[in-house]
Amino acid sequence: MPAETTIDPATAFAGIPRSPGSAKSDPILVAEHINRHFGGLTAVDVEHLQVQRGVITALIGPNGAGKTTFFNVLTGFDRPDSGEWRFDGQSLKGMPAYRVARSGMVRTFQLTKALAKLTVLENMRLGATQQRGERLVNAMFRPRWRQQEKEITERAYGLLERFQLAGMANEFAGSLSGGQRKLLEMARALMVQPKLVMLDEPMAGVNPALKQSLLGHVRSLPDDGMTVLFVEHDMDVVRDISDWVVVMAEGRIISEGPPTSVMGDQRVIDAYLGAHHDAPLTVEEEEQVLREAEQIEAVRAEETRE
């Protein structure tokens, strides 16, 4: 783990304006003029965004706001039509996804990608970078990678213990529950030893009991020197663990700030309520929109009481 001194969110954001695209005191990720179109539809149109190092930043927005596409662009899984972005001072433009990951920016996926027919332990080992045994010339000769494999396995067990998966190390990942897969995916991402962890809806489909433990894990990441950027729909989660919130709607960033102030922002409420005026909704989508809107209203009510 990068042994940096942990950053106190309160001081990190002192004096940072609560406006879209505001400059941070120590940004780890800076994105500029990122555009992505699908046919005639503009999925992402981000003028400027900085992500503060060492804290947890949430990216929220109604369905179809372009959050996942923005994630894909930043991590090299999609190519923007235009735009520049730098991670830790290094430009990532045009860099393939695997090199983005190696540079220290590792993501998870909205639909969990646990490798079902590999064991939990093998899933974890796969996360380690710079493995000698992953080179074809060394692969056949075990002595060349045995020692490193042992170290990797130890590190993997350490993380599995922390994520309460050690007991399942030799099970196929396919036999895990949905929540456990989320845990595994996050643990596996940590095997890469990232500087920035990008989580795409880490709480989706996780049962309430496991959710608390998952929340705890996310919250503890900055203590190990990592930065977290995550997409989430559950406003309780966002309020609970994030230090800073960025709101996207229709591909743009419309608001930024600490959780409580952002959720009281009129633009944000309008975005959530207005996002689905034209398109017909499925029952689930409708429920979700209403739930989010209610939560935002509740936060606002709290604010006004204060």
Partner 1 sequence: MDWGPLFTNSLEAAIGPVAITYCLAAIGLNIHFGYTGLLNFGQAAFMAIGGYGLGAAVVTFGVPFVLALLIGFGGTAVLAVLLGLPTLRLRTDYLAITTLAAAEIIRQVLGSLTLEPWLGGKDGRQGFAATVRDLNPFSGPVDLGIVGFRPFDAWVILIGWLAIALSCLVVWLLMRSPWGRVLKGIREDEDAVRALGKNVYGYKMQALMLGGLFGCVAGFMMGVSRSSVVPDNFQTDLTFFAFCVLLLGGAARVFGPVVGAILLWGMLNVLGNFFGQATSGPNPIIPTWIMDSNQSSLVRFIVLGIALMLLMIYRPQGIFGDKRELAIHAR
Partner 2 sequence: MRVRATAIIAGLIAVVSAAFLLPASTASAAPAGDAPHVRAAALEPSGPLIKGTLVDETDPQNPEPVEGVVITVEDEEGNEVGTETSNAEGFFEIEVPGSGTYTVIIDTDTLPEGRFLRNEDQVQSTATVMGFDKTVQFPIGPDTRQVAGLTEKILERAVTGVLFGLLLALAALGLSMIFGTTGLTNFAHGELVAFGAIVAYLLNVSGLPVIAAGAIAVVCSALFGWMQDLALWRRLRHRGTSLIAMMIVSIGMAISLRALYQYFIGGSRRVYSQYATPSPIFESLSLTLRDVIVMTFALAILVAVSIALQTTRTGKAMRAIADNPPLAASSGINVDRVVAVVWTGGAALAGLGGFLYALKFQLDYQLGLRLLLLIFAAVILGGLGTIWGAMFGALIISMFVELSTLVIPAELKYTGALGVLIVILLIRPQGLLNRAQRVG
Footprint of partner 2 (CB under 8 A)? 38-39, 68-69, 71-72, 77-78, 109-111, 200
Q: Which is nearer to partner 2, 107 or 195 (CB)?
A: 107
Residues that bind partner 1 (CB under 8 A): 75, 77, 96-99, 101-102, 106-109, 113-118, 122, 125-127, 129, 131-136, 138-140, 142, 145, 149, 172, 174, 185, 188-189, 191-192
Residues in the chain: 306
On whether the CB atoms of residues 218 and 202 are closer than 8 A, the answer is yes
Q: Which is nearer to partner 1, 107 or 239 (CB)?
A: 107
The entry of partner 2, partner 1, none near residue 122 (CB within 5 to 8 angstroms by kind) is: partner 1
Residue 78 CB, nearest approach to partner 2 (Å): 7
CA distance 118 to 156: 14
Closest CB to partner 2 among residues 59, 262: 59
Nearest-angstrom CA–CA distance, 107 and 72: 9
**Binding partner at 39 among partner 1, partner 2, none, C-beta below 5 to 8 Å by kind:** partner 2
Which residues lie below 8 Å from residue 5, measured CB to CB, with a gap of 6+? Answer: none
What's the closest the beta carbon of residue 74 comes to partner 2, in angstroms?
A: 12
User: At a CB cut-off of 8 Å and minimum separation 6, what does 287 contact?
Assistant: none
φ/ψ bin of 205: left (φ > 0), alpha (ψ from -120 to 50), beta (otherwise):
left
Work out how close the CB of 76 gets to partner 1 at its nearest, in angstroms, rounded to a whole number. Answer: 8
- CB of residue 74 vs partner 1: minimum separation in angstroms? 12
- Neighbour-count burial for 247-280, b at 16+ CB within 10 Å, e otherwise: bbbbbbbbbbbbbeebbbbeebbebbbebbeeee
Task: Identify which of residues 67 and 195 has a Cβ nearer to partner 2 in the complex.
Answer: 67
Q: If contact means CB under 5 to 8 A according to the sort of partner, which of partner 1, partner 2, none does residue 131 touch?
A: partner 1
Tokens 């795409």: give the residue.
200
Report the partner that residue 110 touches, choosing among partner 2, partner 1, none (CB closer than 5 to 8 A by kind).
Answer: partner 2
Residue number with CB closer to partner 1 (9 or 127): 127
208 binds, among partner 2, partner 1, none (CB under 5 to 8 A by kind): none
User: Cα separation of 176 and 6, whole Å?
Assistant: 33
Contacts of 48 (CB under 8 A, 6+ apart): 20, 21, 31, 32, 33, 253
